């Protein structure tokens, strides 16, 4: 039995039964849309629930707890506060691109229940930076002086039609998103690690990444009254030497943090049938099978960057045990996505309570 099987616990909860018997028979993207609509509808009631866990201080921000929702679930900033009501201490929206785009053709989201995993090739489908900025402005106006709620991260990526070998065009594309969205962000993330936008991962090379990050930093500083923390999200498929180079670059340019990791293009060690894996096809694999490599990348980063830089661990965090393991390896904060899909609406509360950091600070 593969190592990620340890994430399964005895006893079948009602949501697990619903997921295995009903939701797995529904198109994955349609099920996501229906579930997210239900979460948003329940938003007012969810907002009254107390936030679980203890606060975490990182990057000059106070996070209500250690667990956040990774980018990809709320691409267009339509359910931030409702998701916070489920117990997520931070919500990272996006990935948002400079221009609106439909993403890849459907079907493009697939479950591998035998592995508690998901394969997606969504392709940064989103309404674009202008539309998302307008929605965030409306949210800010509605909230007024209301305090609390989740910390808001905004994840920005490359518009598909922008050629990855045109550095000036790439920087201009990311700059548009930064200019429009940084004023609403508690922190900003440059995504160069999705496998679903052709050529995107080539931007992880330090020769291309350094000027891109420096340009986004400059633009964000121009449009905000206070310094917005900037992070980069990297792939688990980087060679160890490349992980080290990214860590050194982050230190050299004063990056605030690194998110480790995005999805993987690997398919090794899965328990799903060859037919099921082939039917899902290309795309990024997330969930329990990613746990070991994401942990390795995090450990390598922490050993290289020292104790001051913020690291956010994501990838295969299904249980409170997984969360504690990642924190012990050097993560300051955690994110989940696939674990949320498989574990259901109580996921964030279970993880936050079970992996309580008792107010860590970095």
Residues with a catalytic annotation lie at 194
Structure tokens at 8: 């399964």
38 is in an annotated binding site: no
d(CA 93, CA 252) in angstroms, rounded, equals 27
DSSP assignment string, 116-146: TEEEE-----B--HHHHHHHHHHHHHHHTT-
Contact, 239 vs 266, CB < 8 A? no
Closest of 209, 217, 221 to residue 248, by C-alpha? 209
Give the chain's radius of gyration (CA, Å). 19
72 is in an annotated binding site: yes
120 is in an annotated binding site: yes
124 is in an annotated binding site: yes
CA 206-287-12 angle, to 5 degrees, is 165
122 is in an annotated binding site: yes
d(CA 168, CA 189) in angstroms, rounded, equals 19
262 is in an annotated binding site: yes
E strands in the chain: 56-58, 61-63, 67-69, 90-97, 109-112, 117-120, 151-157, 187-191, 230-234, 257-260, 284-287, 310-314, 333-336
Dihedrals phi, psi of 286, to nearest 5 degrees: -130, 165
Characterise 101 by phi-psi region: left (phi > 0), alpha (psi -120 to 50), beta (else): beta
75 is in an annotated binding site: yes
1 is in an annotated binding site: no
65 is in an annotated binding site: no
74 is in an annotated binding site: yes
159 is in an annotated binding site: no
d(CA 41, CA 18) in angstroms, rounded, equals 20
244 is in an annotated binding site: no
264 is in an annotated binding site: no
196 is in an annotated binding site: yes
Residues forming the annotated binding site? 71-75, 95, 120-124, 155, 191, 196, 233, 261-263, 287, 316, 337-338
Residues forming the annotated binding site for FMN? 71-75, 95, 155, 191, 233, 261, 287, 316, 337-338
Residues forming the annotated binding site for substrate? 75, 120-124, 191, 196, 262-263
């Amino acid at each position: 039995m593969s190592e990620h099987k340890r994430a399964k616990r005895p006893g079948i909860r009602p949501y697990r039964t619903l997921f295995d018997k009903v939701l797995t028979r529904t198109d994955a993207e349609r099920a996501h849309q229906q579930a997210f609509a239900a979460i948003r509808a329940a938003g007012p009631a969810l907002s009254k629930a107390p936030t679980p866990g203890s606060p975490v201080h990182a990057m000059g921000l106070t996070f209500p707890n250690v667990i956040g929702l990774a980018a990809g679930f709320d691409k267009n900033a339509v359910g931030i506060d409702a998701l916070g009501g489920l117990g997520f201490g931070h919500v990272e929206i996006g990935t948002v691109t400079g221009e609106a785009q439909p993403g890849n053709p459907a079907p493009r989201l697939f479950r591998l229940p035998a592995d508690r995993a998901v394969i997606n090739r969504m392709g940064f489908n989103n309404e674009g930076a202008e539309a998302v900025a307008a929605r965030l402005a409306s949210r800010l106006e509605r909230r007024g002086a209301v305090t609390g709620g989740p910390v808001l991260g905004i994840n920005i990526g490359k518009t598909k039609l922008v050629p990855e070998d045109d550095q000036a065009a790439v920087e201009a594309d990311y700059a548009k998103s930064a200019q429009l969205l940084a004023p609403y962000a508690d922190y900003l993330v440059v995504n160069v690690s999705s496998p679903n936008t052709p050529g995107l991962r080539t931007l992880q090379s330090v020769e291309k990444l350094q000027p891109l990050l420096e340009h986004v930093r400059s633009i964000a500083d121009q449009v905000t009254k206070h310094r917005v923390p900037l992070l980069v999200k990297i792939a688990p498929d980087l060679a160890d030497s490349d992980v080290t180079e990214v860590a050194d670059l982050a230190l050299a340019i004063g990056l605030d943090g690194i998110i480790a990791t995005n999805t993987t293009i690997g398919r090794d060690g899965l328990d799903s049938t060859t037919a099921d894996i082939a039917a899902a096809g290309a795309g990024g694999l997330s969930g329990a099978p990613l746990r070991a490599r994401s942990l390795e990348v995090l450990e390598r980063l922490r050993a290289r960057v020292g104790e001051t830089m913020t690291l956010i661990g994501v990838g295969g965090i299904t249980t409170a045990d997984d969360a504690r393991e990642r924190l012990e390896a050097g993560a300051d904060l955690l994110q989940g996505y696939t674990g949320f899909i498989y574990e259901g609406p109580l996921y964030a509360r279970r993880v936050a309570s079970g992996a309580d950091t008792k107010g860590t600070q970095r």
